[in-house]
Each structure stands twice: as structure tokens, then as C-alpha cells.
């Protein structure tokens, strides 16, 4: 027994934390020592495992940040290059349409401003900074977003469907950020819908303790690869169209981060040539749990 215990102790000292000393009779002094030894190894193994997990998380976080900074630098470089080019054109006196040049510079500057705001928002969400939480009427938020979209995009018929069979859709959340979720989803639906397409927002309480918000469009739809990647940061299904429309490639990433911060989920279903449906599910409740 003593030789076996000594061998196991040596193995543990060498880093094999899977070894344990046979306890035998726990009522004896030898059994008590074996039990104490095994308990100590259990705690060392648990602590070592937690340290490894923490280090792995830190490495993953560092890698995400590295990719994020690289992507952000690339995205900022594009409007900066455009601004620099038009400014040089104007400085050399080669610009025949000065107003057009100034409009392009202003447009690119605005796009940079939107991109920076989106980057700051994602950084705050990554750092899990607290939101301004209070009871929020989801129907009121969706209604306001739909009304605003109708004003800014009068060529698109935007419908609103409501089914509150299980009561009012009140959640504990940040009204401003939930409005941002709806604004981004509606803007995305309009941006990727062609002439004659329809957009619809829906709110319902299915009776399972959640409020469900949907944004549906009958636009071009997405293929399977795009559906799987649509919430990735800086991912664009149509690179040229998104840039021309002023998209930063961060809108849907922000949607997902904000929904998750509210304890909810967001899903997407799409079919090419048929359309796309985004579904946001939020837990009901007038206060946090």
C-alpha cells in the first residue's frame, strides 16, 4: 500500500493529475491520509483545469480582438482612401465638378462616422457594459420603428401584424437599444428587397413566456452559406450593393449582440427568390430575473 501510494504521489508530482490513492478502509489512519491526498489532488486538478480554461478564453478573446482590429482598419481605410483621393483631385485643381467632389467627401465622412459608432457599440457590448434596463413595451418599440421606416422609405409597403393572445409584450430591457435592433432589421430588409417586394414586421406573445418579433421581406433571399454567416462582423452578402447603400457590415452583428445582451435569441430563415425572415425572441417580464 505504501509503495503504491508513493508511486502515485510521484506520478502526481510529475503532472499526472488523474492518479488517486486507493482509500481502502476510510476509518483507518491510512485511509484518512489517502482520502485527504485524493481531495487535495481533486482541488489541484480543478484549479488547473480552470486556469487552462481561463487561458484558452483569453487567447480566444485576444484572437477575436486581433481580427476585429484588422477588419476595422480595412473598413476605415476604404473611405479614407476615397476622401484622400478626392481631396487631392480638388487640391490639384483637376476637379471639374467641385460640388460633386464635396458631396463624395461628405458622404464618405458620414459613412466613416456611422462605422465608428457601430464599432464603439460592439466594443461596449463585448465588454458587457450594462444597458439602461427598464420595463419596455415591445409593441410600442416596433410600431415606432415601422412608422419611421415608412417615412424614410416611402416606396416600400411596410405592414405591421400583431397577435397578443397571451398578453402585452412587456420585457425588461433597454428601449433605445431594442429600437436599434428593429431599425437595423427593417433597414436590412428594405436594402435587400427589390422593386415590388414587401416588408412586414410582426409582434406576438405565443404564451411560452416570450415576446416574438419578426421582420419578413419578400426580397431576393439568401443562400445557405450566407444564412450561416449573416451575423458575422463585416460580412456582406453583396459587397458592392452594401457599400453603395451605406452599409457597414456590422448591422446584423449588432442585432445579435444586443438581443443576446437582453437574454434573447435571434434566428434567420431564407430562401433564394422567396425572401427572408428574422425572428427575435425575448423573455417577458417587467424586471430582471
Residue 176 CA, chain-centre distance (Å), reads 16
- At 271, is the secondary structure helix, strand, or coil? strand
Domains 1-129 and 134-283 share a fold: no
Per-residue pLDDT tens for 246-265? 556 788 988 999 999 999 99
Tens of pLDDT, residues 80-112: 887 888 888 777 877 777 788 788 888 888 777
Backbone angles phi, psi at 88, to 5 degrees: -65, -40
Q: Which CATH number fits domain 134-283: 3.30.565.10, 3.40.920.10, 3.40.50.300, 2.60.120.260?
A: 3.30.565.10
Tell me the DSSP string of 25-86: -TTSHHHHHHHHHHHHHHHHHHHHHHHHHHHHHHHHHHHHHHHHHHHHHHHHHHHHHHHHHH
R_g (Cα) of the chain, nearest Å: 28
Q: Which of 21, 19, 20, 17 minimizes the C-alpha distance to 49?
A: 17
* Residue 255, pLDDT score: 93
How many beta carbons lie within 10 A of that of residue 57, not counting itself?
10
Tell me which residues of the chain have a pLDDT lower than 70.
Answer: 1-19, 21, 25-28, 30, 61, 64-65, 67-68, 70-72, 74-75, 236-248, 286-289
- DSSP, collapsed to helix, strand or coil, labels residue 222 as coil
- CB of 246 closer than 8 Å to CB of 225: no
Q: Report yes or no: 204 and 261 within 8 Å, Cβ to Cβ.
A: no
The pLDDT value recorded for residue 179 is 94
In the numeric block, the cell 482590429 is attached to: 69
pLDDT at position 93 is 77
Q: What is the pLDDT of residue 98?
A: 77
| Measured distance between the N- and C-terminal CA atoms of the chain, rounded to whole angstroms | 53
Residue 201's pLDDT is 94
The answer for residues whose C-beta is within 8 angstroms of residue 2's C-beta and 6 or more apart is none
Q: CA-CA distance, 192 to 154, in Å (whole number)? A: 15
- The CATH architecture one would assign to domain 1-129 is Orthogonal Bundle (1.10)
Domain ranges, ordered by start, for the chain:
1-129, 134-283
pLDDT at 123: 77
Amino acid at each position: 500500500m505504501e509503495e503504491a501510494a508513493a508511486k502515485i504521489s510521484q506520478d502526481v508530482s510529475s503532472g499526472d493529475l488523474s492518479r488517486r490513492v486507493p482509500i481502502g478502509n476510510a476509518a483507518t489512519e491510512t485511509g484518512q491520509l489517502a482520502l485527504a491526498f485524493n481531495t487535495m489532488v481533486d482541488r489541484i486538478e480543478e484549479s488547473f483545469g480552470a486556469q487552462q480554461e481561463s487561458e484558452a478564453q483569453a487567447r480566444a478573446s485576444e484572437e477575436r480582438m486581433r481580427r476585429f482590429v484588422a477588419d476595422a482598419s480595412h473598413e476605415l481605410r476604404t473611405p479614407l482612401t476615397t476622401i484622400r483621393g478626392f481631396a487631392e483631385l480638388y487640391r490639384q485643381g483637376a476637379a471639374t465638378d467641385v460640388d460633386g467632389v464635396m458631396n463624395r467627401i461628405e458622404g464618405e465622412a458620414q459613412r466613416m462616422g456611422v462605422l465608428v459608432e457601430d464599432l464603439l457599440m460592439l466594443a461596449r457590448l463585448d465588454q458587457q457594459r450594462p444597458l439602461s434596463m427598464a420595463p419596455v413595451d415591445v409593441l410600442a418599440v416596433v410600431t415606432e420603428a415601422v412608422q419611421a421606416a415608412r417615412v424614410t422609405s416611402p416606396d416600400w409597403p411596410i405592414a405591421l401584424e400583431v397577435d397578443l393572445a397571451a398578453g402585452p409584450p412587456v420585457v425588461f430591457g433597454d428601449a433605445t437599444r431594442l429600437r436599434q435592433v428593429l431599425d437595423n432589421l427593417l433597414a436590412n430588409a428594405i436594402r435587400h428587397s427589390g422593386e415590388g417586394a414587401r416588408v412586414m414586421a410582426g409582434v406576438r406573445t405565443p404564451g411560452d413566456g416570450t415576446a416574438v418579433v419578426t421582420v419578413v421581406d419578400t426580397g431576393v433571399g439568401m443562400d445557405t452559406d450566407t444564412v450561416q454567416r449573416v451575423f458575422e462582423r463585416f460580412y456582406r452578402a453583396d459587397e458592392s450593393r452594401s457599400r453603395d447603400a451605406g452599409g457597414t457590415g456590422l448591422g446584423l452583428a449588432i442585432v445579435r449582440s444586443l438581443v443576446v445582451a437582453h437574454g434573447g435569441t435571434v434566428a434567420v430563415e431564407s430562401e433564394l427568390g422567396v425572401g427572408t425572415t428574422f425572428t427575435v425572441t425575448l423573455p417577458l417580464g417587467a424586471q430582471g430575473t
